[in-house]
């Protein structure tokens, strides 16, 4: 316990924390993320309606505007959609789905991408050539098109989305990790370990991996945002999440149909939440990147 | 030089070939298109017949061979929906997409580079920090939502600009252009602005990052020691060096632009290739999807090649190898 | 009787970092006469390069000139605004940097970079500029100047790049050239060529030079006067002979003793024991005291001021070594 306290205090006084406190963007990013964590954890219990229980919906309450406009209803803070679903409640549930997909995709693609990158960087040779070739070809294609194409072939569904996002996202992890691996491989302590007879696997895990973690963290934070946006775009086009599990993107799509009639709250608010979420993640990611980059010091 | 060209062309062909295999394989899994071609009340025999005519009863390898042969002859099949040659459909709509992308690109460049240079040269200033926060917001925006917001505010609420469609065009050099007519111009602004947001933000960040790196270099200090003005240091010495990473990213961004153009076209009902693609995906119109993907792949290898050539123009140390 | 060109008094340049204040230059006085070559010697980190940048007004944040006076041609440079400094840089005072590989912009031709100085400080026509470039290249010993002008920096070797940089520095006939470790990054064989070239050129044009280096051997060949720096302060200064033959400060003694000499019968090189102290945590009293062989109690209390030993020869020591 004492050690934990000491470490916490050291962290608080460290340059990292000092820079964090002095950096408005980082603080704003942190606040935003905390806000979303709160929504995900406590949202459903705080919001009175579960928008997916058909029984709880009142069709007569359809298309009510937000509470501060005329016709608004304090029960439905941000208004309702065409089925009487509370927009705020939909957003709460939708955020969970969007965030879940973003995080899962990040974990999957980072695992696969980092492994491939490590293997390519460490073992080199033909394996490296092949992996990098594929990566290069894939990188020259817009990721959104690849994802779109894959989803049109696979069909809707969260597992399909995860597969598509992983197919699209592994490349940047592989490249980053491969780069770090290559530069670590040259270093003397790795040569020394090899000379001492350490097995390749041990060297990779014990020596190379820790040094690869830093760029990996930076890339991962930014990738979560990217994945959330891609999923939102796919869902908006109707090839993403199924109707039963509406992410924020799908909510926007549903609202798009009535936008031109002036019923704006069903699409504007979910979209704003997407933006806020990704913005918060990017703010933190940016800060992390500046902090963890020794070159800019 | 010639050997380089040959090498590049060979690489391009290989890439396109690989893409064709992938596209074909994926498309073969998207269900049986026979049902699209026959009337609803067709009998089993008629369906089997249709399948044979379409060549769908043959083994996949053979189908692929036929596919490849057709492509090389320029025949991408007929659209299931429009009953016209798929290639023709894409080509018809290509100018609209290209025009929108070019306008978006120009907007992005015109704004991103000066702002990025400023933010990179004076990173501590409040304005610079504001610009960076803005750019971060720019890359966090969902492209479709921005389009919708713009439509809602400018078209629905205030009715300044049209919400969809292309408007009038003027024919110049064999191509229909929107920007040459006032009505066309009004129609193209919103889609182009929507499209340029994320590219603008990314280019700005790259320019700034590049500037900050370059400003630390010795030759910048040396230029200042010669008595050069700060402006000439920025725009003459530093900028050229920054262009190299900027050009790289820009080439990649062009790809994303084309990708996001599909969504933008969908929102604004802009009659380009992207909208055609989305509609085709909904309706399972395979030939059109195939053409689109192959065309985009082709566009890409050209773009990559051009970017490499541009490098050699900027940096005398880089030779075409 | 030559005039004093540059007179520095009480110069203090500090760097304010997160970890603490680095007193890179902590109260430095010296002067340079017209046509004189002054050597500034010291180990890495002693502040000698910072002195050069301070004179040029090129210190970058977190560095800042805290106080002092830099009188050049009667004018205090620290009072000049940026516009006036720009006129002086390259025209009156020129600077040569350490690494020729990185001092030139890789994307522009040599001609471009040489003509830049001329465009900034004169009204020469394009022809005149080109002629001058060729003259300069010939002066620094680069053959085939016509073709070389169109080359890019990466097409030159290190030594040749440094020659080009010297040519650029001398292009406007400056009164003072500050050379910051001009030969450190070059091969040993090229080093003496470049140094000889520099000496000849500054003598011919009666340009003053401040030669900043860690290499005492270089300084013993090239200079008229020498100042020795340690941890941001001058520990000894005088004429070349004063320092090389009759140095009195223990640090200078150590530096000289550590030069291997072909002719002497020394069996072992003299070594200065200990390490340079942490610049943010300097000991009270004389900064050299922890490593000094002659240290006494008084040395650890207060840092010594420079005292006159002979006319023009000073050392900052309470107990200068007897000769």
HEC per residue, chain C: CCCEEEEEEEEEEEEEECCEEEEEEEEEEEEEECCCEEEEECCCCCCHHHHHHHHHCCCCCCEEEEEEEEEECCEEHHHCCHHHHHHHECCCEEEECCCHHHHCCCCCCHHHHHHHHHHHHCCCCHHHHHHHHHHHHHHCCCCCHHHHCCCCHHHCCHHHHHHHHHHHHHCCCCCEEEEECCCCCCCHHHHHHHHHHHHHHHHHHCCEEEEEECCHHHHHHHCCEEEEEECCEEEEEEEHHHHHHHCCCHHHHHHHHCCCCCCCCCCCCCCCCCCCCCCCCCCCCCCCHHHCCCCCHHHHHCCCCCEEEECCEEECCCCCCCC
For residue A100, pLDDT over 90 is answered with yes
Is C152 within 8 Å of C110 (Cβ atoms)? yes
What's the pLDDT score for residue A296? 46
Chain B residues in contact with C94 (beta carbon < 8 A): 225-226
Mark yes or no for CB contact B142/A148 under 8 Å.
no
Structure tokens at C213: 């280096």
What's the pLDDT score for residue B37? 64
- What's the complex ipTM? 0.82
Tens of pLDDT along A233-263?
999 988 888 888 888 999 898 888 888 777 8
C56: nearest CB among B223, B225, B230: B225
- Within 10 Å of residue A230's Cβ, how many Cβ atoms? 27
Q: How many domains does chain A have?
A: 1
CA end-to-end span of chain A: 34
Mean pLDDT of C211-237: 89
Give the residue numbers in C contacting B (CB under 8 Å), as ranges.
Answer: 56, 58, 82, 86-91, 94-95, 97, 99, 102-108, 116-117, 120-121, 152, 154, 165, 168
Query: Which backbone phi and psi does C45 adopt, to 5 degrees?
Result: 90, 0
Provide the sign of the torsion angle of the four alpha carbons A199, A201, A205, A207, taken in this order: positive
Tens of pLDDT along A112-124?
998 888 888 888 7
Output the domain CATH number for residue A28.
Answer: 1.10.3720.10
B140: nearest CB among A25, A140, A275: A275
Burial of C125 (0-12, 13-18, 19+ CB in 10 A): exposed
Chain B residues in contact with C82 (beta carbon < 8 A): 230
CA distance B125 to B138: 20
Helix (H, G, I), strand (E, B) or coil at A161: helix
DSSP A80: B
Mark yes or no for CB contact B218/C105 under 8 Å.
no
Q: Give a yes or no: residue A117 inside a domain.
A: yes
Domain span including residue A211: 23-296
Mean pLDDT of B30-44: 68
What's the pLDDT score for residue C82? 87
Residue C56: closest C-alpha in chain B: B225
For residue C171, pLDDT over 60 is answered with yes
CA distance A196 to A201: 14
Nearest chain B Cα distance for residue A188, angstroms:
28
Mark yes or no for CB contact B289/A149 under 8 Å.
yes
Tens of pLDDT along A172-182?
898 888 888 88
Q: What is the mean pLDDT of chain B?
A: 82
C89: nearest CB among B217, B224, B315: B224
Nearest chain C Cα distance for residue B317, angstroms:
7
Q: Within 13 Å and on the Cβ side, how many CA atoms surround B262?
A: 28
Helix (H) or strand (E) holding B176: strand B175-177
Chain C residues in contact with B314 (beta carbon < 8 A): 107
Tens of pLDDT along B258-284?
889 999 998 888 888 888 888 888 887
Residue C104: closest C-alpha in chain B: B219
Q: Which residue has the tokens 């891609």?
A: A230
For residue A297, pLDDT over 60 is answered with no
For residue C280, pLDDT over 80 is answered with no
For residue C320, pLDDT over 90 is answered with no
* Percent of chain B at pLDDT exceeding 70: 93
Mark yes or no for CB contact B258/A282 under 8 Å.
no
Q: What is the mean pLDDT of chain A?
A: 82
| Candidate from A269-278, A280-289, B152-161 with smallest mean pLDDT | B152-161
For residue B38, pLDDT over 70 is answered with no
* Percent of chain C at pLDDT exceeding 90: 19
Chain B residues in contact with A252 (beta carbon < 8 A): 142, 144-145, 148
Q: Give a yes or no: residue A2 inside a domain.
A: no
* Percent of chain C at pLDDT exceeding 70: 95
Nearest chain C Cα distance for residue B313, angstroms:
10
Chain C residues in contact with B226 (beta carbon < 8 A): 89-90, 94, 116-117, 120, 168
Mark yes or no for CB contact B282/A238 under 8 Å.
yes
* Percent of chain B at pLDDT exceeding 90: 9
Helix (H, G, I), strand (E, B) or coil at B175: strand
Report residue B32's pLDDT band, with 50, 70 and 90 as the boundaries: low
Nearest chain B Cα distance for residue A139, angstroms:
8
What's the pLDDT score for residue A73? 75
Mean pLDDT of A87-111: 91
Nearest chain C Cα distance for residue B185, angstroms:
39
CA distance A227 to A243: 19
B148: nearest CB among A153, A229, A259: A259
Interface test with C, best of B217, B225, B231, B247 (most C CBs within 10 A): B225
Chain A residues in contact with B255 (beta carbon < 8 A): 140-142
Is C233 within 8 Å of C287 (Cβ atoms)? yes
- Beta strands C176-180 and C93-96, pairing class: parallel
For residue A196, pLDDT over 50 is answered with yes
C288 vs A2, residue with greater confidence: C288
What's the pLDDT score for residue A16? 67
Mean pLDDT of C119-134: 88
Report residue A197's pLDDT band, with 50, 70 and 90 as the boundaries: confident
Is B287 within 8 Å of B76 (Cβ atoms)? yes
Residue B243: closest C-alpha in chain C: C107
* Neighbouring chains to B with at least 3 Cβ pairs closer than 8 Å: A, C
For residue C199, pLDDT over 70 is answered with yes
| Candidate from A59-63, B292-296, C106-110, C262-266 with smallest mean pLDDT | C262-266
Chain A residues in contact with B293 (beta carbon < 8 A): 145, 149
Q: Which of C2, C95, C102 is nearest to C51 (CA)?
A: C95
B258: nearest CB among A142, A252, A264: A142
B140: nearest CB among A225, A237, A267: A225
What's the pLDDT score for residue B229? 86
Measured at the alpha carbon of residue C41, what is the angle toward residues C218 and A297, in degrees to the nearest 5?
Answer: 115
What's the pLDDT score for residue C245? 85
Tens of pLDDT along B172-190?
776 777 777 777 788 888 8
Q: Give a yes or no: residue A256 inside a domain.
A: yes
What's the pLDDT score for residue C55? 92
Q: What is the mean pLDDT of chain C?
A: 86
Mark yes or no for CB contact B317/C152 under 8 Å.
yes
For residue C1, pLDDT over 60 is answered with no
What's the pLDDT score for residue A109? 93
Chain C residues in contact with B214 (beta carbon < 8 A): none
Mark yes or no for CB contact A252/B29 under 8 Å.
no
Q: Left (φ > 0), alpha (ψ -120 to 50) or beta: where does C312 sit?
A: left
Tens of pLDDT along A125-143?
888 888 888 888 787 788 8
Tens of pLDDT along B63-83?
777 778 777 777 777 777 777
A291 vs C296, residue with greater confidence: C296
Q: Please check whether residue A144 touches B, CB under 8 A.
A: yes
Tens of pLDDT along B210-225?
888 888 888 998 988 8
Alpha helices in chain B (DSSP H): 2-28, 34-37, 44-54, 60-72, 86-121, 126-140, 143-150, 182-215, 218-225, 230-232, 239-268, 273-283, 286-314
What's the pLDDT score for residue B294? 85
Nearest chain A Cα distance for residue B29, angstroms:
7
Chain A residues in contact with B133 (beta carbon < 8 A): 25
Is C13 within 8 Å of C63 (Cβ atoms)? yes
Residue B18: closest C-alpha in chain A: A137
B218: nearest CB among C103, C107, C168: C103
């Amino acid at each position: 316990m004492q050690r934990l306290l000491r470490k916490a205090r050291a962290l608080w006084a460290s340059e990292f924390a000092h820079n964090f406190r002095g950096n408005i963007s980082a603080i704003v990013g942190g606040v935003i993320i905390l806000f979303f964590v709160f929504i995900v954890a406590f949202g459903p219990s705080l919001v009175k309606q579960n928008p997916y229980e058909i029984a709880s919906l009142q069709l007569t309450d359809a298309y009510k505007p937000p509470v501060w406009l005329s016709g608004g209803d304090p029960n439905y803070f941000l208004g309702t959609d065409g089925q009487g679903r509370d927009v705020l409640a939909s957003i709460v549930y939708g955020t969970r789905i969007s965030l879940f997909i973003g995080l899962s995709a990040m974990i999957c693609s980072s695992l696969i991408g980092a492994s491939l990158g490590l293997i390519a960087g460490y073992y080199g040779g033909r394996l490296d050539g092949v992996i990098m070739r594929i990566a290069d070809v894939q990188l020259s294609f817009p990721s959104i098109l690849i994802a779109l194409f894959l989803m049109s072939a696979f069909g809707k569904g969260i597992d399909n989305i995860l597969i598509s996002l992983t197919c699209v996202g592994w490349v940047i992890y592989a490249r980053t990790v491969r780069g770090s691996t290559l530069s670590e491989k040259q270093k003397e302590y790795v040569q020394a370990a090899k000379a001492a007879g350490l097995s390749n696997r041990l060297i990779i895990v014990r020596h190379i991996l820790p040094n690869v973690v830093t760029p990996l963290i930076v890339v991962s934070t930014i990738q979560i945002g990217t994945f959330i946006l891609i999923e939102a775009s796919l869902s908006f086009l109707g090839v993403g999440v199924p109707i039963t599990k509406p992410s924020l993107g799908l909510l926007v799509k549903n609202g798009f149909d009535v936008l031109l009639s002036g019923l704006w709250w069903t699409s504007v608010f979910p979209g704003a939440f997407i933006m806020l979420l990704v913005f918060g993640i990017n703010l933190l990611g940016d800060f992390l990147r500046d902090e963890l980059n020794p070159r800019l010091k | 030089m010639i050997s380089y060209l040959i090498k590049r062309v060979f690489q391009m062909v290989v890439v396109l070939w690989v893409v064709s295999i992938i596209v074909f394989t994926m498309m073969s899994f998207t269900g049986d298109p026979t049902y699209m071609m026959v009337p609803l009340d067709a009998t089993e025999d008629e369906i089997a017949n249709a399948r044979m005519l379409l060549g769908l009863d043959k083994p996949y390898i053979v189908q692929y061979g036929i596919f490849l042969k057709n492509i090389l002859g320029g025949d991408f099949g007929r659209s299931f929906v429009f009953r016209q040659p798929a290639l023709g459909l894409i080509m018809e709509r290509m100018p609209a997409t290209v025009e929108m992308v070019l306008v978006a690109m120009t907007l992005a460049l015109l704004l991103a580079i000066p702002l990025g240079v400023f933010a990179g040269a004076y990173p501590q200033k409040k304005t610079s920090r504001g610009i960076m926060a803005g750019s971060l917001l720019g890359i966090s925006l969902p492209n479709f939502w921005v389009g919708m917001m713009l439509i809602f505010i400018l078209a629905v609420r205030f009715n300044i600009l049209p919400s969809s469609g292309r408007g009038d065009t003027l024919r110049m050099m064999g191509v229909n252009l929107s920007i040459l007519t006032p009505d066309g111009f009004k129609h193209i602004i919103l889609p182009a602005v929507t499209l340029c947001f994320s590219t603008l933000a990314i280019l700005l960040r790259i320019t700034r990052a590049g500037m900050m790196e370059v400003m630390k270099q010795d030759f910048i200090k040396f230029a200042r020691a010669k008595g050069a003005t700060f402006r000439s240091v920025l725009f003459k010495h530093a900028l050229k060096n920054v262009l190299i990473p900027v050009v790289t990213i820009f080439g990649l961004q062009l790809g994303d632009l084309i990708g996001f153009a599909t969504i933008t076209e969908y929102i604004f009902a802009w009659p380009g290739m992207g909208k055609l693609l989305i509609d085709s995906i909904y309706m399972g119109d395979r030939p059109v999807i195939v053409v689109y993907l192959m065309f985009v792949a082709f566009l890409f290898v050209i773009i990559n090649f051009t970017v490499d050539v541009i490098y050699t123009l900027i940096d005398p140390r880089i030779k075409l190898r | 009787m030559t005039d004093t060109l540059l007179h520095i008094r009480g110069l203090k340049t500090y760097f304010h970092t997160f970890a603490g204040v680095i007193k890179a230059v902590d109260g430095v006085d010296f002067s340079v006469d017209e046509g004189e070559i002054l050597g500034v010697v010291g180990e890495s980190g002693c502040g000698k390069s910072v002195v050069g940048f301070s004179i040029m007004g090129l210190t970058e944040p977190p560095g800042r000139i805290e106080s002092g006076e830099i009188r050049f041609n009667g004018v205090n440079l620290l009072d000049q605004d940026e516009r006036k400094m720009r006129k002086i840089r390259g025209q009156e005072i020129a600077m040569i940097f350490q690494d020729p590989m990185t001092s030139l912009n890789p994307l522009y031709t040599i001609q471009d970079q040489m003509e830049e100085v001329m465009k900034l400080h004169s009204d020469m026509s394009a022809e005149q500029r080109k002629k001058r470039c060729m003259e300069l290249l010939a002066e620094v010993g680069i053959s085939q100047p016509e073709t070389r002008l169109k080359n890019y920096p990466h097409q030159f070797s290190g030594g040749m790049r440094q020659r080009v940089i010297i040519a650029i520095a001398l292009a406007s006939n400056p009164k003072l050239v500050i050379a910051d470790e001009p030969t450190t990054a070059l091969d040993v064989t090229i080093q003496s060529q470049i140094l000889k070239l520099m000496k000849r050129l500054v003598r011919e044009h009666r340009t003053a030079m401040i030669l900043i280096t860690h290499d005492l051997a270089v300084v013993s060949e090239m200079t008229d006067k020498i100042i020795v720096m340690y941890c941001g302060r001058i520990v000894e200064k005088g004429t070349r002979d004063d320092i090389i033959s009759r140095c009195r400060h223990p640090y200078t003694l150590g530096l000289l003793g550590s030069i291997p000499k072909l002719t002497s019968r020394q069996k072992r090189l003299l070594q200065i024991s200990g390490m340079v102290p942490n610049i943010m945590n300097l000991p009270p009293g004389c900064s050299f005291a922890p490593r000094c062989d002659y240290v006494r109690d008084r040395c650890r209390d207060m840092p010594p001021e420079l005292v006159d030993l002979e006319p023009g020869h000073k050392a900052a020591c309470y107990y200068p070594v007897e000769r």
